[in-house]
Amino acid sequence: MHLRILWVLVLTSLVVLLRPCDTEALSLGYTNSNLGAYSSAVQLLTVNSRQILPVQQSDLVFPDYLQRSHIISVYEEKVAQSPNSSIFLRLLADQYLRRFREIGDIDDVLRAEQAARRSLALQPLHNDISSMLLASALLSQHQFREALEVLNDTQDPSLDNPNIVSLLASIEMELGNYEATHQLLQNFAQEESNSGHNAVVARYLELTGNLASARQLLDEAMQEMDSFYTTSAETRAWFHVRTGDLAFAAGDFALSEQRYREALDLFPRHIAAFTGLVRLYAAQHRWQDALNTANQGIELMPLVETLGYKADAQLALGDQKGAAETEDLIGVVAYLSKVKGIYDRALAVYYTEHGIHLTEALQIARNEVAVRDDVYAEDTLAWAAAANGQWQEAQTAAQRATRFGTEDALLQFHAGMIAFHLGKREEAIKRLTQAVNLNPQFHYKYADQARQVLANLVPSVSFPIPNAIGSSL
């Protein structure tokens, strides 16, 4: 056992001590997400070996997370013994961020920020890894512009570190600066790619209307990460979750469920995998499965999105009392988010979809756009403004949300319904048709609503329904 711990410790030390070009930076953005939903964290992934495992061994999992707290205690002791060691502080910051991604303790993000800042104070130059760790910690706290400033101050405008470029591109996407993202990624289009960089490119393709290309690139990145035994379990699981997210967006529910379950096999605590499964089950009206899976995820981390699906499942199953209790818990989580200064767009979405606290939903959405003006922030604002009768604001936000042709059925549905209300018939038909064509079961209630509106607008045309494409029910 002690030898195993020592082995893990040595490997995790090596990957952080490697030169910056050996550290892959990629975005955990996501899925219309928030802090708790990894919604917007940037993850530093490290692989210290390029020895690809034989296919039959690719299912082996590097169990680094089992020793995470012990590794942290070792580095804390080393830092206490050598407080002026920028290297030990860098190692410690990396481990804090890894534990945050594994168990979701926000205090670990604050610890990582402090350790990274101390490392940079001791070694301001030639310490790119600490800069990336600091940027990641700030990004996890939704301090997007501060994270961007840290990286911009790291090196000269030549931007010769592709890992920093990938991380910069991730942050620019969170801020909605897609032109800047394109320029950053284009500058390295001819460079040797790696799975971390490709994950960032895939996210850009996803957001800018190239879902099929994004899926292909991310699937290749996932397979590459699976081929390295020393890839951490949580990291490998993240790639499977993201491929599951994109499969859901494309209406491929069988593959989506498979990827989420693979993620949980790799790392049983992956909250994003639970949330993805719950969303999928809700869309299919598999309410008991949705409730069971939501409960599993909530035991690990009570995210607003997962709690919202739980309340929906409880209502669908006739448990009104349970749903009310879950809504009360959502209120508690919302209060804690305010205390921490984090405005959770998932909360605005839940309030809007359920017709409650609409004024607050609109304010949260506006705050979110002010912090990061990405397409999903604009989409959240559009739907919340529409629910509050602010139709001009809703239309403007919907136009911005769809300006890149993002192939997300829910986003297209929102824009279509706003256009329908404003009497823009052709625009409504275009958006709603795209929504149901992308994913006939994109939402547990809105998918049917989209088909109903289309049936009234163009009664001579039939639109995809779940059973017509062989979706599992």
- What is the dotted CATH code of the domain comprising 2-250? 1.25.40.10
Cα-flanking dihedrals φ and ψ of residue 423, to 5°? 80, 15
How many angstroms separate the CA atoms of 323 and 313, rounded? Answer: 8
Domain ranges of the chain: 2-250
Q: What is the pLDDT of residue 265?
A: 95
Contacts of 156 (CB under 8 A, 6+ apart): none
Q: What is the pLDDT of residue 53?
A: 38
How many angstroms separate the CA atoms of 431 and 434, rounded? Answer: 5
- Residues, the chain: 473
pTM: 0.86
pLDDT in single tens digits along all 473 residues of the chain: 444 444 444 444 444 444 333 333 333 333 333 333 333 333 333 333 333 333 333 468 888 999 999 999 999 999 999 999 999 999 999 999 999 999 989 899 999 999 999 999 999 998 999 999 999 999 998 899 999 999 988 755 456 677 888 899 999 999 999 999 999 998 765 555 688 889 999 999 999 999 999 999 999 999 999 998 889 999 999 999 999 999 999 999 999 999 999 999 999 999 999 999 999 999 999 999 999 999 999 999 999 999 999 999 999 999 999 999 999 999 898 888 777 656 578 899 999 999 999 999 999 999 999 988 999 999 999 999 999 999 999 999 999 999 999 999 999 999 999 999 999 999 999 999 999 999 999 999 999 999 999 999 988 766 666 643 333 32
